[in-house]
């Protein structure tokens, strides 16, 4: 898949943002402006000014729109949703090489509010996925009690869980214990059967 490093970074921010929603993890992870501020720092989102409750509301609304694109039922529907998110963001693509990152494109307009900034960048990252015909890489975690999302960038599109350190690992452990339990049950049954055989 033709996906640049920048697009990959944007997709990772997209996933982190979607997974802050109560639908994904049970409780709101961006409950106030301070939480939004630390999200911006954690994700190393550049050129963000001081944040207000209006920014928080805009990001919450955008998050819902992006989740709808993520789980769109068809490609035309996804394309239409991407177009409306990106159009509303007032994008102005420009080349930049800030902070020794090498030349890359910023889609957000200079001094854009955070909601518009994210709508432009994350909307475009989804545009590239749709354009590459790779929507099936936009996945929801397979763990039964998990509604987190992820983007499967593995070569053979084999990734099933949101985060190998939590869900994937947890399920591996569960499968291992189940195998162990059934092995123990077999041993127990054999011991019983052997015990039941009359000696001699
Ligand atoms: Zn940049
Ligand atoms: Zn999960």
Q: Which residue has the higher pLDDT, 186 or 96?
A: 96
Q: Where are the domains of the chain?
A: 5-161, 163-200
Domain 5-161 is found in CATH 1.10.3300.10: yes
Average pLDDT rounded to a whole number, residues 120-125: 96
Residue 200, pLDDT > 60, answer no
Residue environment code for 134-161, b if the CB has 16+ CB neighbours within 10 A, otherwise e: bbebbbebebeebbbbbbeeeeeeebeb
Please report which ligand is nearest the Cα atom of 9: 1
Q: What percentage of the chain exceeds 70 in pLDDT? A: 90
Please report which ligand is nearest the Cα atom of 160: 2
pLDDT computed for residue 74 by the predictor: 97
Please report which ligand is nearest the Cα atom of 95: 1
What is the distance in A from the centroid of ligand 2 to the CA of 66? Answer: 19
What is the distance in A from the centroid of ligand 1 to the CA of 84? Answer: 23
What is the distance in A from the centroid of ligand 1 to the CA of 91? Answer: 14
pLDDT in tens, 79-121: 999 999 999 999 999 999 988 888 989 999 999 999 999 999 9
* Range 62-67 contact pairs with CB under 8 angstroms and sequence separation of 24 or more: 62/115, 62/118, 62/119, 62/122, 63/17, 63/18, 63/20, 63/21, 64/21, 65/119, 66/14, 66/17, 66/18, 66/122, 66/123, 66/126, 67/18, 67/21, 67/23, 67/149
What is the distance in A from the centroid of ligand 1 to the CA of 107? Answer: 9
What is the distance in A from the centroid of ligand 2 to the CA of 171? Answer: 10
Q: How confident is the model at residue 5 (pLDDT cuts 50, 70, 90)?
A: confident
Mean pLDDT check: name the lowest of 14-28, 36-50, 163-177: 163-177
Residue 15, pLDDT > 90, answer yes
CB 39 within 8 A of CB 91: no
Residue 175, pLDDT > 80, answer no
Residue 22, pLDDT > 80, answer yes
What is the distance in A from the centroid of ligand 2 to the CA of 145? Answer: 8
Q: Which residue in 36, 38, 72, 67 sits closest to 150, CA to CA? A: 67
What is the distance in A from the centroid of ligand 1 to the CA of 154? Answer: 24
């Amino acid at each position: 898949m033709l996906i640049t490093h920048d697009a990959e970074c944007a997709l990772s921010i997209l996933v982190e943002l979607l997974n802050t929603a109560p639908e994904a993890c049970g409780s709101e992870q961006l409950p106030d402006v301070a939480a939004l501020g630390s999200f911006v720092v954690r994700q190393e989102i550049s050129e963000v000014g001081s944040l207000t409750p209006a920014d928080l509301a805009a990001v919450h609304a955008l998050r819902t729109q992006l989740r709808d694109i993520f789980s769109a039922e068809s490609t035309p529907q996804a394309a239409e949703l991407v177009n409306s998110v990106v159009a509303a963001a007032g994008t102005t693509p420009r080349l930049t090489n800030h902070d020794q990152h090498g030349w890359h494109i910023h889609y957000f307009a200079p001094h854009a509010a955070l909601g518009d900034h994210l709508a432009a960048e994350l909307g475009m990252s989804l545009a590239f996925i749709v354009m590459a015909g790779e929507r099936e890489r936009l996945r929801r975690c397979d763990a039964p009690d998990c509604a987190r999302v992820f983007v499967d960038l593995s070569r053979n599109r084999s990734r099933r869980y949101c985060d190998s350190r939590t869900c994937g690992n947890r399920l591996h452990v569960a499968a291992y214990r189940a195998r162990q339990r059934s092995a123990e049950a077999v041993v127990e049954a054999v011991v019983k059967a052997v015990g039941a055989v009359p000696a001699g």
